[in-house]
Amino acid sequence: MAVVEVADKIDTIYALATPSGRSAIAVIRVTGTSIPKKLLEKLSLQKNSRGCFVRKIDLGDYSDKCLVLNFPAPESYTGEHLIEIHCHGNPVIIADVFTLLDGYGVEEASPGDFSKRAYLNGKVSLDEAESLMLGIQAQNKNDLISLEKFRSGDLGQKIFNISNSLESLLVALESQLDFSDEDGVSDLERNEIAKNIEQILHDLKRLLKNYRPIRDLEARQRAVIIGPPNVGKSSLFNRLLKEDIAIVSNTPGTTRDVVRKTIVMEGIELEVNDTAGIRNGETLVEQEGIEKSYKALDGAEISIWVSDQESNFKNKPKTDLLVMNKIDLFEGRTIPKGWIPLSAKTGEGMNVLVEELIKKLNVEESVFYTSERVYGNIEKTVKTLSASSNEKDFYEINAQNARDALILLKEIYGDFDNEKILDQIFQKFCIGK
Ligand code: GDP
Here the CATH number for the domain that contains residue 191 is 1.20.120.430
Residue 285 has pLDDT above 60, yes or no: no
Q: Determine the distance separating the centroid of ligand 1 and the alpha carbon of 262, expressed in angstroms.
A: 21
Is 113 part of any domain?
Answer: yes
Q: Determine the distance separating the centroid of ligand 1 and the alpha carbon of 269, expressed in angstroms.
A: 26
Average pLDDT, the chain: 85
Q: Determine the distance separating the centroid of ligand 1 and the alpha carbon of 247, expressed in angstroms.
A: 11
Is 69 part of any domain?
Answer: yes
325 lines ligand 1 (CB under 6 A): yes
Residue 226, strand partner residues: 305
Model pLDDT, residue 161:
94
Residue 7 has pLDDT above 50, yes or no: no
Closest-CA residue, ligand 1 atom 20, reads 232
Number of domains in the chain: 3
Is the backbone peptide bond immediately before 228 cis, with ω within 30 degrees of 0?
Answer: no
268 three-class SS: strand
249 lines ligand 1 (CB under 6 A): yes
Please give the Cα distance from 135 to 149 (Å, whole number): 11
Closest-CA residue, ligand 1 atom 9, reads 232
Closest-CA residue, ligand 1 atom 25, reads 326
Per-residue confidence band for 4, with pLDDT thresholds at 50, 70 and 90: very low
Q: Which of 120, 150, 166 is the last residue of a domain?
A: 120
pLDDT tens digits, 341-360:
999 999 999 999 998 988 88
Characterise 406 by phi-psi region: left (phi > 0), alpha (psi -120 to 50), beta (else). Answer: alpha
In this structure, of 30-39, 132-141, 208-217, the range with the lowest mean pLDDT score is 208-217
Q: Which of 99-108, 208-217, 277-286 has the highest mean pLDDT?
A: 99-108
Is 5 part of any domain?
Answer: no
In this structure, of 1-15, 186-200, 370-384, the range with the lowest mean pLDDT score is 1-15
328 lines ligand 1 (CB under 6 A): yes
DSSP state of 10: P
Structural domain harbouring 397: 138-214+371-413
| Helix (H) / strand (E) containing 156 | helix 154-177
Ligand 1 atom with minimal separation from the 249 CA? 8
Closest-CA residue, ligand 1 atom 6, reads 232
Q: Are strands 221-226 and 302-307 parallel, antiparallel or unpaired?
A: parallel
Residue 359: C-alpha distances to residues 268, 338, 349, 381 (Å): 11, 16, 16, 38
51 three-class SS: strand
Q: Do residues 77 and 171 both lie within one domain?
A: no
Q: Do residues 226 and 201 both lie within one domain?
A: no
Please give the Cα distance from 43 to 115 (Å, whole number): 24
CA–chain centroid gap for 291, Å, is 32
Q: Do residues 352 and 378 both lie within one domain?
A: no
Ligand 1 atom with minimal separation from the 228 CA? 3
Q: Do residues 246 and 303 both lie within one domain?
A: yes
Q: Do residues 248 and 357 both lie within one domain?
A: yes
DSSP state of 283: S
Q: Which residue has the higher pLDDT, 211 or 95?
A: 95
Q: Which residue has the higher pLDDT, 301 or 366?
A: 301
Is 420 part of any domain?
Answer: no
Q: Are strands 23-32 and 221-226 parallel, antiparallel or unpaired?
A: unpaired
Closest-CA residue, ligand 1 atom 18, reads 232
Is 173 part of any domain?
Answer: yes
